[in-house]
Structure 1
Amino acid sequence: MTPKTVPATPRSVVLAVAGAFLLSACGAQIDETTGPDSRSTVQRCGEAVEYTVPQRAVVYEGGSADKLFALGLAGHVHGYVMPPANPPVSQSPWAADYERVEFLSDDLLNRELVADAQADLVVAGWNSGFSDTRGITPEILDTLGIQSFMHAESCFNYPGFPERHTPFEGLYIDLERLGKIFGVEGRAADVIAGYRKRVTEVQQKAPSGEPVRVFLYDSGTDQPFTAAGQVPPTDIIRFAGGVNVFADVDARWAGVSWEAVVESAPEVIVILEYRDAPAQEKIDLLKNHPATASLPAVVSDNFFVLDYNEAISGPRNIDGLEKFAEYLRDYAATG
């Protein structure tokens, strides 16, 4: 397949040259052989795309920003878009990096915003940032000379160029691909190796016996919204020693029925906490909802709160895994 080349605009060429001067001061140590005009061919989901080294990336949500910050690339990030669901960036392990870049909006990602920001790369997920209905897709950005990068975890249903990975493998693949685009492959390899090591250590400590049945409650009253098989919480639950009761649903996030939740009889319920939807409100709903009040997890008060940025694809998935694994070990020891 011939890689797609995003056309360079005069603006992006000027920014690329200016960015070369800033690299050493901004913490992104590009390999000496990799200049701002260097090109690399990297998969964007199932499509081979040719990239130049970005200097004004716009990132959508914490997972996108964290991937670049974890690779030491804050100097290549112009700004971030952070909808209200996301926790405060001051709570991030990369809070100092967020301070260095511009807060662009607390709205959804849109074409006008990235054009006004003079972005030369947009990082987001398919249907979680990029959207046909909102008119901001990789294809549309290609016509504007703006590069785009999609989270591999979100690629399984990307039209025309699908790509399927388990969620944590998607995280590693993203870091590897971003490392290649920015010329920091060695650093990316080190970061990935560190994350894999932490996951292996969790797996080695997982409780023995039958996996604990776990239901993740995201939101919803008439119909519960939950984590299906294609999102990080499923791997978090699995690696920690549990099983997501809706792991066999071939989707990312999905609506299910209360009847199906009751039939699954979860022993532990993971509550996904949004900044604008506190976990305690969701716990109270489950304790008072006639369909869930008698669930084993509810009766035993077995709730675990998972932070929003630990649930979407990003480096903080590893933090969420370690915290939930500790919870499951304590659950197994006392159960």
Structure 2
Amino acid sequence: MTRRRTRALLIPTAASALLLAGCGAEVEDDGGEEATTTTVARCGEEVEYRVPERAVVYEAGSADKLFALGLTDAVHGYVMPPANPPVEESPWAADYAAVEMLSDDLLNRELVVDARADFVVAGWQSGFSDERGITPAILDDLGIQSFLHSETCYNYPGHPLEVTPFEGLYTDLERLGEIFGVADRAAEVVAELRGRVEAVREQAPAGPPPRVFLYDSGTEQPFTSGNQAPPNEIIEIAGGENIFADLTERWTSVGWEPVIEADPEVIIILDYGDLPAEEKIDFLTSSPALSEVTAVREGNFHILDYNEAISGPRIVDGAEGFGAYLRGLAR
């Protein structure tokens, strides 16, 4: 958390006298009560927040972060596109049931305004979008606070920030803890997650790391993870090597030729709603061009849940699951 006073993102009211004095400032609201503001970084820009009361979250990664911090009561509703697995399968299924599902489509400005949201959590280009007219700057002008996943700041215009996905997760939990006034709880959650990740690293199989290809989708060109998205780090933590670890991208299309040349020993299949993992495996195993790839020939496929591959606490589950798979493969 920073201590320098910056622009405040405060919901405007006609009767409010906004008396700001920096981080931790006391602000008189229209009821004569005092509110606390906290300044944290948002993709490199320092922003002053009031404690949110009606958060709207986009996709499970955003919701999971708040639920993990015990902030369910502050979540007004969630937006969950069809690609996401059912929320009933979530470790926080009870929390999802306690808040409103606002839409099964993409995030948009009208939805946020209609929900009377005072805080929106999403990723850049995965929720927030210039093309769809919902950006932090636009919400600032509407008096609605916003928070971006640190991992997605990599290509956020005007505020370049590069952070590894797992450090981005820890950073987000800590910053959300500051914004909502639950910093101690955030520290506990982060410490637990770090401990689980370190345990996976320590159990990684000995010897050369197996070559791993993450297959999201695509037949003409495969869509995969570069080194700025969680699967790259999941693979590394578990003891493998992403064959596209040298691509400084988040998610990107590549050619089949580099995949064949790299000869992955394991293929991770990203599983989500409209593209079931079984269909992807069928495609890979029926392709004559891929028939001599070691992973295809030996049937070495590991399924990664969609929510284990996007910024949120479940990427730690993803590392644990893939770590167990590699240990079994080594045996």
**Which amino acid counterpart does residue 9 of structure 2 have in structure 1?**
V
Q: How many Å apart are 1:208 and its aligned residue?
A: 1.2
- CA distance in structure 1 between the aligned counterparts of 2:288 and 2:124, rounded to whole angstroms: 36
Q: Equivalent residue of 1:10, what SS?
A: coil
Deviation, 1:3, is: 2.0
Once the two structures are TM-superposed, the CA of residue 290 in structure 1 deviates from its matched residue by 2.8
Mapped contact 2:37–2:48 kept (Cα < 8 A)? yes
Counterpart AA for 2:151 = E
Residue of 287, 294, 318 corresponding to 2:316: 318
Query: Percent identity between the aligned chains?
Result: 64
Q: Report the Cα distance in structure 2 between the residues aligned to 1:36 and 1:77, rounded to whole angstroms.
A: 22
Structure 1 residues 252-331: aligned runs within 5 Å: 252-331=250-329
Unaligned runs of 5+ in 1: 14-34
Alpha-carbon shift at residue 320 of structure 1 (Å): 1.0
Give unmatched runs, 5+ long, in structure 2. Answer: 17-32
Once residues 288 and 8 of structure 2 are traced to their aligned partners in structure 1, the CA distance between those partners, rounded to angstroms, is 55
Is residue 78–residue 101 contact of structure 1 (8 Å, CA) maintained in 2?
yes
Q: 1:120 aligns with which of 118, 121, 134?
A: 118
| Root-mean-square deviation (Å) | 1.5
Rounded Cα–Cα distance in structure 2 between residues aligned with 1:218 and 1:238: 18
Task: Report if aligned partners of 2:5, 2:48 keep a CA contact under 8 Å in 1.
Answer: no
Match status 1:66 vs 2:60: no
Matched, 1:194 2:192: yes
Inter-partner Cα distance in structure 2 for 1:297 and 1:237: 15
Partner in structure 2 of residue 23 of structure 1: none
Matches of 1:293 and 1:310, distance apart in 2: 28
1:5 paired residue number:
8
Q: Secondary structure at the match of 2:41?
A: strand
Q: Is the 8 A contact 2:109 2:134 kept in 1?
A: yes
Aligned twin of 1:140: 138
Q: Map 1:93-242 onto structure 2 (within 5 A).
A: 93-242=91-240
User: What residue identity is the alignment partner of 1:9?
Assistant: P
Per-residue deviation, 1:277: 1.1
Summarize deviations over 1:207-258 as a string: whole Å, max 9, x none.
1111110000000111100011111111110000001111111111000001
CA distance in 2, matches of 1:142, 1:292: 49
Q: CA deviation at 1:73?
A: 0.2
Moved over 6 A (4+): none
Conserved? CA contact 2:211–2:263, under 8 Å = yes
CA contact (8 A) 1:81 1:107 kept: yes
> Which secondary structure state, in structure 1, belongs to the residue aligned with residue 290 of structure 2?
coil
Q: Take 1:271 and 1:171, find their aligned partners in 2: how far apart are those partners?
A: 22
With normalisation by structure 1, the TM-score equals 0.91
CA shift, 1:2, in A, is 5.3
Q: Distance in 1 between matches of 2:146 and 2:322?
A: 33
Give the distance between the partners of 2:127 and 2:188, measured in 1 at CA: 28
Letter in 2 for 1:187: R
1:9 deviates by 2.1
Q: Is the 8 A contact 2:85 2:273 kept in 1?
A: yes
Q: Deviations over 1:257-298 (max 9, x none)?
A: 011111111000000000221100000001112332221000
**Take 1:155 and 1:149, find their aligned partners in 2: how far apart are those partners?**
11
SS in 1 for 2:304: strand
The alignment partner of 1:266 has SS state of coil
TM-score by length of 2: 0.92
Alpha-carbon distance in structure 2 between the residues aligned to 1:282 and 1:10: 52
| Cα displacement string for residues 35-91 of structure 1 (whole angstroms, at most 9, x for unaligned residues) | 982100011011000000000000000000000000000000000000011000000
Contact 2:60 2:312 in 1 (8 A): yes
User: Contact 1:39–1:52 (CA<8 Å) still a contact in 2?
Assistant: yes
Is the Cα contact below 8 Å between 1:259 and 1:291 reproduced in 2? no
d(CA) in 1 for partners of 2:63, 2:201 = 27
Q: What is the distance in 2 between the residues matched to 1:126 and 1:4?
A: 21
Q: Count how many residue pairs are aligned between Structure 1 and Structure 2.
A: 312
Q: Which amino acid aligns with 1:137?
A: T
Matched-pair contact (CA < 8 Å) for 1:3–1:47:
no
Q: What is the CA deviation profile of residues 172-219 of structure 1, one whole-angstrom value per residue up to 9, with x for unaligned ones? A: 000000000000000000000000000111111101111110000000
Letter of the 2:80 partner, please give it.
M
| Aligned AA (1:212) | P
Match of residue 242 from structure 2: 244
